[in-house]
Copies of this chain bind each other. A is one copy, B any other.
């Protein structure tokens, strides 16, 4: 596939997700302020990397990506809830997210907490309802999502991250945080696409390993951008990790070491992808995006 074709396809997936996302909220019988708060953060932009991973994985299996849309949107809802809660004053206390005031800055803390709770809860309903997915697949998707996002996954990572603040962490501890805080949900995105495509266990295993490397690469790039990035592109202040005395890949490994580690994980990810023998042009392209992204 040509580069331009790949870019166009990913762009069209992103549009499809962004079209569909608000529809899951607007029609709810719910207090308007809550829908507004949910939509505010859902529509604040972002790379939509989790939905894109679901759909790109389906594409690699040569399946109709439309069947992935509910899970893709559910993932973006769940990811958005985690951002809203992470930004709260008692957590990271961030005023800006993607260049816009954070949810609690606009709607107040109480509504922000509840909008997050609502997005998290609703994401499970969005997967459980569509008649286009079999019950067996739904149950697997839901169990894996709850595992990736819950106390053995994303929430565990956030707790460990907070507890590590101001402490000197080892590389192992840093990896535990990222594997859980961002890694498990990125990994789930790929697995969800594969589950929807009825992948066999061998394929699932390879793709899980692939996604693990991709997730770590994603986080290392994040740490690098917090030092070398352009504030206007990232939409938040650069240098906040140093300011908050956060341990990062560059602080543990030097900038050169972090960049080398980033390349290593991307190489590993690409190698694993080739071993799947899938038609994985889009996933390969996403690897490159993760390696070189500027926001």
Q: Which residues of A contact B (CB under 8 A)?
A: 25, 28-31, 33-35, 38, 81, 85, 88, 90-91, 108-111, 113-114, 116-118, 120-122, 124-125, 128-129, 135-136, 138-139, 142-143, 145-147, 149-152, 155-156, 158-160, 162-163
Contacts and interface: CB of A to CB of B under 8 A. Distances in A.
Contacts of A143: 125, 128-129
B113 A90 contact: yes
A143 to B, nearest CB: 4
Nearest to A129: B143
B152 A114 contact: no
B128 A139 contact: yes
A117 B156 CA distance: 10
Contacts of A135: 135-136, 138-139
A213 B103 CA distance: 36
A117 B116 CA distance: 9
11 contacts: A30-B151, A88-B110, A90-B108, A90-B110, A125-B142, A125-B143, A125-B146, A128-B139, A128-B146, A135-B136, A138-B142
Given A90-B109, A91-B113, A121 B151 contact: yes
Given A128-B143, A143-B125, A114 B33 contact: no
| Chain A interface SS verdict (over half) | helix
B114 A155 contact: yes
B34 A118 contact: no
A9 B119 CA distance: 38
A152 B38 CA distance: 13
Contacts of A35: 151
B163 A33 contact: yes
A116 B116 CA distance: 11
Nearest to A153: B121
